[in-house]
Amino acid sequence: MEPQAADNSEMPTAATLDQVSDVRLEFGESSEDSMPANSILLRLASPVFNRMLQSGMKEAQQSVIKVDLASKEEFQIFYGLLAPTAWSSGAVTKENVDTLLAISDYYQVGTIKQACEAHLLRLPATGARLLQARKHGLKSQYERCIRALAKNGAKEDLELLRKSEPDILLEVAVKQQELRRQMVALKDEVIRCKGFFPDPGVHPYASHTFTAGRKLSEAEASKISRILEGQGSLKQTLEKMLKELQ
């Protein structure tokens, strides 16, 4: 009996995005600057694309969608993240976060927009980032930038807000007043806490009387003193905080 020949045929593979494409996305003025796309993938990901590709709409009839928001190269990154299993935690980077945010916000793709905000929360807060958060409705990023600029806003950031969005600058000023009130309250609390610590050289609690009326013995006072030896550094920390709050 002759041995059967080995099956050298290739294993079947899943279809690529190009193979299942049924619409064309056009960028800029030239129709030659375009890319194929899958209408079902677009409609499942975006309510905006879903409306465009409904029966009777021009885009559905012509199978062509004009994209003015981004370049072909920028949109290809966004489109690549819509495919099944394409998403990863490192998909959004410092280099592409601004573009992905603008595209995902316009086309209402919540998962990518949320990932963009999560990445922006790890970047420095600036006036430009605050304006960006306002434009795209990033609540957590907006509140973070307001607080950061109120605490330590650079002159150029505040000047940008004054020229672009004076109402946002007012929010920063209000937050500054709020933080200042908190600092004053903190200063009072530091002074109060500092008073709990004995001055250097004073035997702490040696003559302290408890509610029962019994004074501490020398042995008891010494034991407490040893426990409280580390409070000297804490008192110094409180004194340093007071100087910074002046």
Helix (H, G, I), strand (E, B), or coil: what is residue 71? coil
Task: Examine the pLDDT at 189 and tell me if it is beyond 80.
Answer: no
Alpha-carbon gap, residue 121 to 129, rounded angstroms: 10
Does the structure show a pLDDT above 60 at 245?
no
Bridge partners, residue 64, by sequence: 24
* Predicted pLDDT of residue 2: 57
The confidence band for 235, taking pLDDT boundaries of 50, 70 and 90, is low
Position 209 pLDDT exceeds 50: no
Spatial distance between the Cα atoms of 146 and 165, rounded to a whole number of angstroms: 13
Per-residue model confidence (pLDDT) at position 210: 47
Average pLDDT over the chain reads 80
**Within the chain, where are the H helices?**
39-45, 47-52, 58-62, 72-80, 97-106, 110-120, 127-136, 139-152, 155-164, 166-194, 218-227, 231-245
Judged by phi (left if over 0) then psi (alpha if -120 to 50, else beta), residue 17 lies in alpha
C-alpha 228/C-alpha 197 separation (Å) is: 9
Q: Above 80 in pLDDT, residue 6?
A: no
User: Residue 176 above 90 pLDDT?
Assistant: no
Amino acid (1-letter code) at residue 230: G
Amino acid at 100: L
Q: Average of pLDDT values for 68-92?
A: 88
**Dist CA 168 CA 148 (whole Å):** 13
Q: What is the pLDDT of residues 109-140, one digit of tens each?
A: 999 999 999 999 999 999 999 999 999 999 99
pLDDT, tens digit, for every residue of 131-164? Answer: 999 999 999 999 999 999 998 889 999 999 999 9
Q: Look at residue 81 and tell me whether its pLDDT is greater than 80.
A: yes
Q: Are 228 and 204 in contact (CB under 8 A)?
A: yes
pLDDT cut 70: percent of the chain above it: 67
SS3 of residue 66 by DSSP: strand
